[in-house]
Amino acid sequence: MTVVKGAATTDLLYNNMSRVGTFNSATKLLTFTNGDFISLDAGT
């Protein structure tokens, strides 16, 4: 799993290829490509 940071979001990649989710640092929500989301507090 790799992490690619954007301006306000952080993408999660599988095998450096497939994007499986994105984390929004403002809302603290991790959203997967199938639409599921959960809240995280990553301390960022």
Partner 1 sequence: MAVSANAQSVNAQQAGSALRIELHSDRHSDALPLAQLDGSDLSTLAPRSGRNLAYLRDEVRLSAPLAGGQLALLARQSATLVASRGVVELVAAAGTTGTPATNAQYDIRLRYTGFSGAGLAWRTGNTPDTDLAESSGAEPLLRAAGWHWQAGAQGLALARLVWRRVDGQASFAAGPNNYSFDLASDYADDRQKFPFQRGFSAYGTALLLNAQLAHCGDAACFGVGVRDLGRLFWRGLPRQEATLSSSTQSYDADGFVIYKPLVQGRYMQINVSQTAPATVNFDANWRVASDWQAGLRAEWLMDFGWLPAAQLQWRGMEGIAWTASWRVHERRLGLQAAGERWVVRVATDQLSAGAHSRELLLAWSWPFH
Residue of the chain from 1, 6, 31, 44 that contacts partner 1 (CB under 8 A) = 31
Under rule CB under 8 A, residue 16 binds partner 1: no
Name the token pair of 8: 């306000």
Pick from 39, 33, 41: nearest CA to 13: 33
Query: How far is 28 from 6, CA to CA, in rounded Å?
Result: 14
Beta-carbon-side half-sphere exposure of residue 25 (alpha carbons within 13 Å): 10
Q: Which is nearer to partner 1, 2 or 19 (CB)?
A: 19
Nearer to partner 1, 15 or 41 (CB): 41
Residue ranges in contact with partner 1 by CB under 8 A: 9, 22, 24, 29, 31, 33, 35-40
